[in-house]
């Protein structure tokens, strides 16, 4: 919770010496960001356990193998566990407590960079430009990420139109395929925004001296480079399945035994690697900055509210 406190303004006003009450909120941006990212993980992990207990168990009403995602990818991608109720509803509610803090942090972190650069810190020129042109994308992406729940893939499509053996005309005419496109678009922008946020914050904190354990610039570049390359590959990997073109590392069914799916371990590795790079690592870094572990403690964002005097109201 914000640390709310009141103090007296020390300036002299035009309407006498009555000093209006000023309220300040100290906002720990790093903790709020860590909270938002953590809640996102809780939403997904919780959805997995709920679905496996109530939706996809041996005696449950649905068969995991009949879901659109499993039929498309050949294995249960994380999203499949938050696509059906009751996990879907619960995950939607919980995810609101992830998207709202991340929207809040996106805007105020952009303001923080702007103010630091305007105050004369020329090291932040490129970071300021990056924040200026990407914060809107991130803000809207975090705001609209819940559309993944609105456009859940259709369960047990009959028939399942495999993009690898269909023309574009056939795909466009296929309702389950179009539904999955609507499901994937907000997920794509969610992943993109996580990468953009990691890039902005890594460079900002490196320049202002609040990057935990003060790694060399080359290490930060490697981390950000790997994160963005994994994002690009992950996006190409999913897009390849959607439009039916091959990407190295794709899962595929064995020709002799269709129940055997190859490259599942690689697919799971890429899926969790991106979560580690874009969610887990930023959570750890944010917590370290919040408590000054391995670096100078990151200052809180201060928001001031000034009340008006009776003379000003009249």
pLDDT for residue 293: 95
List the alpha helices (DSSP H) in the chain.
29-54, 68-73, 87-118, 125-144, 147-150, 168-172, 175-208, 217-243, 264-275, 281-291, 310-313
pLDDT at 213 over 90: yes
Give per-residue pLDDT as tens, 119-164.
Answer: 999 999 999 999 999 999 999 999 999 999 999 999 999 999 999 9
Radius of gyration of the chain, Cα coordinates, nearest whole angstrom: 24
Determine the straight-line distance between the first and last CA of the chain, rounded to whole angstroms.
35
CA distance 46 to 132: 35
Confidence of residue 13 (pLDDT cuts 50, 70, 90): very low
pLDDT for residue 302: 80
Instruction: Calculate mean pLDDT across residues 175-204.
Output: 96
pLDDT for residue 304: 76
pLDDT for residue 25: 82
Confidence of residue 12 (pLDDT cuts 50, 70, 90): very low
Give per-residue pLDDT as tens, 223-248.
Answer: 999 999 999 999 999 999 999 999 99
pLDDT for residue 117: 94
Instruction: Calculate mean pLDDT across residues 214-225.
Output: 94
In terms of Cα–Cα distance, which of 151, 219, 134, 210 is closest to 186? Answer: 151
Give strand pairing partners of 47.
none
pLDDT at 221 over 90: yes
pLDDT at 313 over 70: no
Give per-residue pLDDT as tens, 110-131.
Answer: 999 999 999 999 999 999 999 9
Give per-residue pLDDT as tens, 36-79.
Answer: 999 999 999 999 999 999 999 999 999 999 999 999 999 999 99
Instruction: Calculate mean pLDDT across residues 87-113.
Output: 95
Pairing of β 21-27 and β 301-306: antiparallel
């Amino acid at each position: 919770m914000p640390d709310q406190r009141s103090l007296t303004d020390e300036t002299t006003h035009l309407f006498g010496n009555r000093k209006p009450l000023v309220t300040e909120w100290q906002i720990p941006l790093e903790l709020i960001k860590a909270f938002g990212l953590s809640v996102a993980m809780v939403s997904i992990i919780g959805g997995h356990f709920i679905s496996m207990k109530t939706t996809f168990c041996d005696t449950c009403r649905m068969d995991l193998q009949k879901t659109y995602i499993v039929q498309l990818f050949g294995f249960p991608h994380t999203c499949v566990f938050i696509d059906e109720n009751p996990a879907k509803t619960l995950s939607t509610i919980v995810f609101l407590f992830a998207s709202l803090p991340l929207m809040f942090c996106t805007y105020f972190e952009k303001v923080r960079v702007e103010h630091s650069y305007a105050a004369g810190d020329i090291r932040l020129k490129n970071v300021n430009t990056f924040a200026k042109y990407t914060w809107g994308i991130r803000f809207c992406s975090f705001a609209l990420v819940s559309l993944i729940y609105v456009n859940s893939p259709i369960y047990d499509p009959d028939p399942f139109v495999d993009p690898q053996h269909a023309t574009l005309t056939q795909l466009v005419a296929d309702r389950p395929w179009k539904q999955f496109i609507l499901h994937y678009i907000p997920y794509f922008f969610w992943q993109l925004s996580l990468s953009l946020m990691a890039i902005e914050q890594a460079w900002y904190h490196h320049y202002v001296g609040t990057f935990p354990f003060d790694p060399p610039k080359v290490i930060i570049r490697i981390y950000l480079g790997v994160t963005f390359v994994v994002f690009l590959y992950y996006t190409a990997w999913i897009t390849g399945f959607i439009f039916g073109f091959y990407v190295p590392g794709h899962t595929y069914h064995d020709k002799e035994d269709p129940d055997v799916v190859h490259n599942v371990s690689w697919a799971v590795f890429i899926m969790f690697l991106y979560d580690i790079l874009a969610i887990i690592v930023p959570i750890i870094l944010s917590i370290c900055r919040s408590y000054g572990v391995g670096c100078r403690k990151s200052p809180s964002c201060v928001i001031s509210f000034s009340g008006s005097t009776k003379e000003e109201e009249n």
